[in-house]
Amino acid sequence: MKSVIIEHLFKQVEENHDLTAVRLLIADSIETLVEANRYSMTREAQAHFTNAVGSLVLNITSARQPTKVGLTTSIQDLNQALTALNDRGKRYDLRSNTELITCDVLLDAIKTMRETLQLVGAVTVQQTPSA
């Protein structure tokens, strides 16, 4: 079952034409959820949060703009992270290099991504022809 957050994010991707605003909303959601689960995150959830950030970064840097593909992938990974958090103990614990990915690393990646997004948004605004 999808959470209210996930449903809201998917709705924004479909209905909001301001991709910068949608990207920031997804980044804010990831950041809030990582912070809220900082001390109780499973490796599986870490992996999904990491993938959500990665998909969002790929969406921002994609040569084919505007695109929503990375946004939906990011939200799907965020949903998987929430599922892993909710099913804690019921599912397998992913064994990989995710031990190296701390909450601080994820939060730093989101901060850098947000700064990049603001630069991209500023360039887009400057390049938009006036009517």
| Cα 83 from chain centre | 15
Label residues 21-35 b or e (16+ Cβ within 10 Å = b): ebbbbbbebbbebbe
Residue 33 is predicted with a pLDDT of: 92
Percent of the chain surpassing pLDDT 70: 77
What does pLDDT average to in each consecutive run of 10 residues of the chain (131 residues)? 85 90 93 89 86 90 82 92 72 49 77 74 50 43
Residue 104 is predicted with a pLDDT of: 81
Residue 120 is predicted with a pLDDT of: 61
At 34-60, the pLDDT tens digits run 999 888 888 888 889 999 999 998 888
Residue 77 is predicted with a pLDDT of: 92
Encoding tokens for residue 112? 């850098």
> Three-class SS of residue 96?
coil
Residues whose CB is less than 8 angstroms from the CB of residue 43 and which lie 6 or more positions away in sequence, other chains included? 93, 94, 95, 96, 98, 99
